[in-house]
Amino acid sequence: MIDIHTHLIPGIDDGCGSLEEAKKVCWLMRSQGVDRIIATPHFYADSTDPKEFLLKRNKAFKSMGDLVSKYNIRKGAEVRYFTGIGRADDIELLKIDRSDFMMLELADKRINEIVIDDLMELRSRNIRPIIAHLNRYSEFNNDRFIEFCNMNSILIQLNTECLFSFFQRRRALELIRTGAVQFIATDCHDAERRRPNLKEAFDVIRAHLGDDVAEEFAENEDRII
């Protein structure tokens, strides 16, 4: 399994605060069958620029030493949406390692024509946004927005938390079953409060939708790594 949304690089955002914490998180992932990890620290355009962010991220990534190769960790970013992102300089530098995909956080914004235009601008630059944790936004129940994403090769990720929620599980399973969303990820930040739980989430998918759907859904992540 692959976890495409994590905050385990120590000391760069509100995720793991130390190398020891990152080791715990990686060990928990491996014990659940996760063999590839994408580290996606937060990027906020109002506090830094892509090149400055990459210098900081790469330095922190290097500090992880052999943890990177041992747990097959790749570099990415969780880019918070800002008006004009589609035309922003160097934004393509924030794509997930050696791919055209970029994790994009909507930042609690209501979807409007400006956001739609920015998403299409990103697509025109050969950037494929992955909408992070859609289950946290009202657009989780917006079939029109989800259809727009599906029609324009804009991908959607749900957090595992929605599969353990009485209020969100049915909707999440339906979106997975129909292929309307492409990824589930933990968005883990530590080993306790926001711990990795990808196996538990896939157990829910298997229990409700069957092994074939679960396996096909898991294979989506191979397109990123």
- pLDDT tens digits, 107-153: 766 789 999 999 999 999 999 999 999 999 999 999 999 999 999 99
> Which residue stretches of 110-168 are H helix?
113-124, 143-151
pLDDT for position 108: 67
**Geometric angle at alpha carbon 70, from 65 and 76, rounded to 5°:** 70
State the amino acid at position 47 in one-letter form.
S
Q: What is the CATH number of the domain that holds 114?
A: 3.20.20.140
Check if the beta carbon of residue 129 is closer than 8 Å to that of residue 119: yes
Q: What's the total number of domains in the chain?
A: 1
Burial class (CB in 10 A: 0-12, 13-18, 19+), 90: exposed
pLDDT for position 128: 96
**Going residue by residue through the chain (225 aa), what tens digit of pLDDT does each one get?**
999 999 999 999 999 999 999 999 999 999 999 999 999 999 999 999 999 999 999 999 999 999 999 999 999 999 999 999 999 999 999 999 989 999 999 976 678 999 999 999 999 999 999 999 999 999 999 999 999 999 999 999 999 999 999 999 999 999 999 999 999 999 999 999 999 999 999 999 999 999 999 999 999 888 776
Distance, CA of 97 to CA of 77 (rounded, Å): 9
Q: Which of 160, 180, 174 is nearest to 32 (CA)?
A: 160
State the amino acid at position 50 in one-letter form.
P
Domain span at 9 = 2-223
Q: What would the two tokens of residue 68 be?
A: 């990177």
If you average pLDDT over every residue of the chain, what do you get?
95
User: Residue written as tokens 């092994």?
Assistant: 211
pLDDT for position 223: 78
pLDDT for position 96: 96
Distance, CA of 107 to CA of 126 (rounded, Å): 22
pLDDT for position 109: 64
